[in-house]
Amino acid sequence: MYSLKVGQKSDLPRVLELIQELALYEKAPEQVTNTLERMEKEGFGPHPVYEFYVCVKDSNQEIIGIAVYYYRYSTWKGKRLYLEDIVVTESERGNGAGKLLFERVMAKSLEEDCSGMMWQVLDWNAPAINFYKKYGALLEAGWLNAHLQDYEIKKLLHK
């Protein structure tokens, strides 16, 4: 029904579509400011900062899911795989594509000798939370996400 492959530059237009679909689902479509050009440079340039898998529907070779990940370093744990996004297009959810993607990323974390993997899930996303609980994932409370946008950093540093 589905097969997985390592993401290629030619997959990026569909990857960006799925990211936009996820943002719409998460009620934040306006927050996607990434571009194909930036994704090409940052994923396939001289110093790639992310990698991804695509899930392809065998019947028509359409990309119906993605798992985007990168590596981070924890001073407490060492090298960790960070799952940035796992997305399966709405019409294909519940058919095993997410399981294939998630388990492939878990295997990749072991292949790369990571001390584990981590990701975030919105506290209202019950289907995703239930999916992760099936794997025995620890869902931590008490951490707040913090970020600064590039334009904010520029403003702060160039007073």
CA distance linking residue 25 with residue 144, whole number of Å: 21
Cα–Cα distances (Å) from 35 to 22, 52, 82, in that order, read: 15, 16, 21
Q: Which of 50, 70, 71, 132 is catalytic?
A: 132
The structure tokens listed for 14 are 């569909």
- Annotated active-site residue 132? The verdict is yes
The amino acid occupying position 18 is L
DSSP helix, strand, coil percent of the chain (3-state; round to 5): 40, 25, 35
Q: Residue 33 burial by CB count (10 A; 0-12/13-18/19+): exposed, middle or buried?
A: exposed
Active-site positions read: 132
